[in-house]
Structure 1
Amino acid sequence: MARISFILKDPNSKIATPILYTLTYSGQRVKSTTKQKIKPSAWNKNSKSIKKNRTEYNFVQEELDRIEIIIKSTIADLKKKYNGLPNKNELKNILTTRLFKEDRNLSEMSFWTYFEDFKNKLENKKNTRTGKPISKGTKCSYNQTFNHLKNFERSTGNTVSFLTLSNELYDNLIEYLEKELNLSSNTIGKHIKNIKSLINNAKLERGVQLPLSYQEKYWRVHKREKTANEIVFLSEKELTELEELDLSNNHTMDKARDVLLLGSWTGLRISDIFRIRRENIDLERNVIKIRVEKTDRLVVTPIHPITLKILKKHNFSTPAISAQKVNENIKLVCKEIETLNNEITISELKGGQLKEIKYQRFDRVSTHTGRRSFASNMYRRKVPIQQIMAVTGHKKEKDFFKYIGISKEELSEGLSELFNEWYK
């Protein structure tokens, strides 16, 4: 419950001293000027108001009454609209504006109304860079962020609104995502990135005024780069073993295996693998030409003998299976390969702590493993990096090396091998 009181800045002053108001709420305290002054002798310490016999200060008491009414009204407006109050700095800013300047409009668009509107617009919105519709994955990501924020409000009592954005809210949200939901640092980073994108859109498109307590740089994106040992890819030997498995009795696993192999020998993302049609296949030049969905860039990738075998098997198209089914089944397929049952240790930031978790390699295989396998195997085949990057779309070599999990030791070993060849 909010408590309003008035105090003298210097109760022992021999001359008129400023009157301050104090507002206490939710463990926070706002203290600011009323722009009024009186002599301490005219102040009733018990009632914290002007003494009744000091009629020369009636106009001051009237102003204090006005200030109290406006503070109470502002608090009621804020609670009704936002189901809570902002931090003390933002509340002080709002009260100062309402008390002594033009009335601050508290009817700004609700954060949740804007978020709902933002999600709905994604259905028909196009990527400004590629001109393509927003991907299903991006829409799903924003839905997850929305739901996590709603649950954060319910579980913690924090109010999420444009008015209550603050560094403190960010800290509370991070603590909730880490400790309550046990999300990894990279997943948390994805949600923070979505929230910041939403806030920036609201500011640019709707002119939403953000509070002083929101500092964009403080809302940093959590991300942890994988080490070379944590990156899983399938070697050419493992891919051959995978291709030779007899899955004729399980059509779903067979299709999932074929999709993984296509990614591993073409370097294409799964979204582009699903779009391969007969017109994309140039058998004379032995290449697949396709304009990739993510960047709208034309990619030309060679056709490996296993790729050709799979394309023929599916009538020069891709297997009819969903990405979800592929992810579910390729782990089961990869479990059949002996070396993919080896253990690896992954460091994950969960609940605010870095934990080492053991997995079997097949558990870490996903639809993206194929593309990573292509890049890793081609590099180890000593294919020029620029040629591999032309397929994967990487623009910087340092990003490419992180992607395939090449350590500094391996880079040095590669140079040593060249020296041995050159200077025998």
Structure 2
Amino acid sequence: MNKKQIKFHLGVKVYPKHWCTEVQRAYTSKIIPSSDNRNNEIANNRITDIFNRFILFKEYICKIDNENNLEIETILKKYINMGRPKKNENTGIKDIITQIKKDVFNATTIGNATIKNYCDKGVPALSFYLKYLEEEEKKNVNTYSQFTTEFFTAFSLYLLNNYFQPNGEPYTISTINSIIKYAKSAVILSARKQQALTENDISTIKTKQFDDKSSDNHIALRNDEVMKLYNYKCKNEKDEIIKDLFILECTLGCRVSDLLEIDNKIEEINGDFFITFAPRKTPNKKMEIKLIFEIARHLIIDKYKCKLPKCSKDTINKNIKRIAKEAGIKGEELQSIHYAGDSKPTELKKQRYELIATHTGRRSFITMLSAREWTYEQIRKYTGQTIEMVQHYDKATPKYKQIFQNSYKNNLDEIVLLHDEVVGNKNKDIAFKKEQANNPDSTYIGTIVELANSNGKLQHKIELTTKDLKKANEDIKNKDSLLLKAEEYIELLGSEDAIKQAIVDNSETDLVNGYVMAADGTIYYNPLIEGLK
């Protein structure tokens, strides 16, 4: 028509060896497998139907006076497709996923292996995305007309960032591509079965395959982001549990599937805690990991008493983005998506909290240790991965390391401290203060305490730097100095009973030559109690 061929889809495929070019029909024979025979019969019936409708079209055209080829083409398509009208979808389908799965399972035009791929790979991914649309976006997909190119583009990107294996690991690019293809094919098969879309409608549905050149867009949380989550008080108990389990992923290094089963597998040895378990992915390979991060020890030992609450991986993935946003995790992250056939990648901007999922925890664990200059060999003993996989998960860029080093130097509250770092810093602090207290050249104190009332309650203290101490020692007669001579200090402390009470209030004290060291390591000089123990 107008020197252009008009093509119509039959909605069925025929093997080349089964096609007879002379009569333009598919072979049917007893020597052909029954499933192929049935498929070929369907193809032949549809060809006959199209020819019959084409005859009706010619009869109609002969009766009208119209030379507009575009209009005639529209009339032709109408005649050909009128045997496959769209269903009335005004009310929608109550459970479109169930309908798709039913149609795929009962399909006679595809093999059993293909049916299995559609049902086990394509349909579950589709169901996963539709649940997200319904619960988070408040969109309900209940008609086949909603399965457009735009739908499958958004579906593909969502799977790339949020759809993971049962053990929490991300799928490869090639697997994601296969899942997208199976999902689209399942939708089209069901739409044809339900006569919900015309072949022209179906031909407009396009999907793009991801190229393996696509950048790894998965993120690792920084130390300060993990601590924001840790310090955030959730609005309800369920969110608190989800938050805590995700933090444990960040601080243990194991898969989420293994994390949820560590109850009764915790052992204490000389003050250290160890977890012994057999990973689900490699059940014949037993692993023993030490609780190296302080907040992991607190959550498992102190908060949950070695019995973690139950929560599924899907529940964590469904809620952790929202919880992270509420906790204050923000900032833009640039994603690079490379589609097959495109010369340049497509760049998208996402908020960091949008990219958080269960697998983010393991990446964060590896990255936090890498920033501390741990080797991949050391790290793999905690994750059970190969060195190559640990390297792939490591996100410790120069920028990440600089942020970590600055926080470690200037603001430890932003650092997820190792247990050894907590103990080491405390011991250093205590050692410095004891050295200061036992210095024979000094009759001055490093911390001034004012007990302003008779019961001896601590009201105020001033921490002095090393520079302050040196300056005061050079000018010991300066009454305005922050330091006071020991004999002048007695009047500020009050009675001996008040001082003793102050010792009781600061329990577990250590007395050295008249100095008192409280449990938190603070030094108090109390001349009246020299020798008390």
TM-score in terms of structure 1 length = 0.50
What is residue 329 of structure 1 aligned with on the other side?
Answer: 319
Structure with bigger RCO (C-alpha 8 Å, 6+ apart): 1
CA distance in 2, matches of 1:367, 1:119: 25
Residue 395 of structure 1 and its aligned partner are, at CA, apart by: 2.2
Equivalences for 1:19-418 in 2 at 5 Å? 84-86=12-14, 88=16, 91=19, 103-107=31-35, 110=108, 112=110, 114=112, 118=116, 139=120, 143-144=124-125, 181-182=152-153, 183-184=155-156, 187=160, 189-190=174-175, 192-193=177-178, 222-224=210-212, 227=215, 230-247=217-234, 249-278=235-264, 280-284=265-269, 286-296=273-283, 297-303=285-291, 304-312=293-301, 313-338=303-328, 340-349=329-338, 354-397=345-388, 399-405=389-395
What SS class does the counterpart of residue 286 from structure 1 fall into? strand
Q: 1:301 to 1:114 in 2, by over 3 A?
A: same
Contact between 2:211 and 2:340, CA under 8 Å: does it hold in 1? no
Residue 112 of structure 1 and its aligned partner are, at CA, apart by: 4.8
Residue 375 of structure 1 and its aligned partner are, at CA, apart by: 0.8
- For structure 2, the residue ranges without an aligned partner over 5 or more in a row are 37-106, 130-140, 161-172, 183-207, 402-533
Contact between 2:218 and 2:360, CA under 8 Å: does it hold in 1? no
Q: Greater Rg, structure 1 or structure 2? A: 2
What SS class does the counterpart of residue 107 from structure 1 fall into? helix
Contact between 2:249 and 2:365, CA under 8 Å: does it hold in 1? yes
Contact between 2:276 and 2:289, CA under 8 Å: does it hold in 1? yes
Deviations 1:215-251 (A, max 9, x none): xxxxx984546647x432112232223212223x421
Q: 1:298 to 1:232 in 2, by over 3 A?
A: same
CA distance in 2, matches of 1:115, 1:146: 20
Contact between 2:333 and 2:349, CA under 8 Å: does it hold in 1? yes
Residue 385 of structure 1 and its aligned partner are, at CA, apart by: 0.5
What SS class does the counterpart of residue 325 from structure 1 fall into? helix
Residue 410 of structure 1 and its aligned partner are, at CA, apart by: 9.4
CA distance in 2, matches of 1:407, 1:106: 60
Q: 1:144 to 1:325 in 2, by over 3 A?
A: closer
Residue 409 of structure 1 and its aligned partner are, at CA, apart by: 10
Residue 102 of structure 1 and its aligned partner are, at CA, apart by: 8.9
CA distance in 1, matches of 2:286, 2:337: 36
What SS class does the counterpart of residue 184 from structure 1 fall into? helix
What is residue 21 of structure 1 aligned with on the other side?
Answer: none
Residue 333 of structure 1 and its aligned partner are, at CA, apart by: 2.6
Residue 190 of structure 1 and its aligned partner are, at CA, apart by: 2.6
Equivalent AA in structure 2 for residue 143 of structure 1:
P
CA distance in 2, matches of 1:315, 1:408: 38
Contact between 1:268 and 1:391, CA under 8 Å: does it hold in 2? yes
Residue 147 of structure 1 and its aligned partner are, at CA, apart by: 11
Aligned residues: 269
Residue 266 of structure 1 and its aligned partner are, at CA, apart by: 0.5
What SS class does the counterpart of residue 358 from structure 2 fall into? coil
Q: 1:221 to 1:90 in 2, by over 3 A?
A: farther
CA distance in 1, matches of 2:229, 2:322: 11
Contact between 1:85 and 1:91, CA under 8 Å: does it hold in 2? no
Residue 345 of structure 1 and its aligned partner are, at CA, apart by: 1.4
Q: CA RMSD in A?
A: 4.8
Q: 1:322 to 1:140 in 2, by over 3 A?
A: farther
Q: 1:382 to 1:274 in 2, by over 3 A?
A: same
What SS class does the counterpart of residue 315 from structure 1 fall into? coil
Q: 1:348 to 1:25 in 2, by over 3 A?
A: closer
CA distance in 1, matches of 2:181, 2:346: 28
CA distance in 1, matches of 2:321, 2:248: 16
Contact between 1:344 and 1:358, CA under 8 Å: does it hold in 2? yes
What is residue 193 of structure 2 aligned with on the other side?
Answer: none
- For structure 1, the residue ranges without an aligned partner over 5 or more in a row are 1-23, 29-78, 123-138, 156-175, 198-219, 412-424
Q: 1:408 to 1:342 in 2, by over 3 A?
A: closer
CA distance in 1, matches of 2:334, 2:256: 26
What SS class does the counterpart of residue 387 from structure 1 fall into? helix
Residue 405 of structure 1 and its aligned partner are, at CA, apart by: 3.3
What SS class does the counterpart of residue 19 from structure 2 fall into? helix
- Bigger share in strand: 1
What SS class does the counterpart of residue 283 from structure 1 fall into? strand
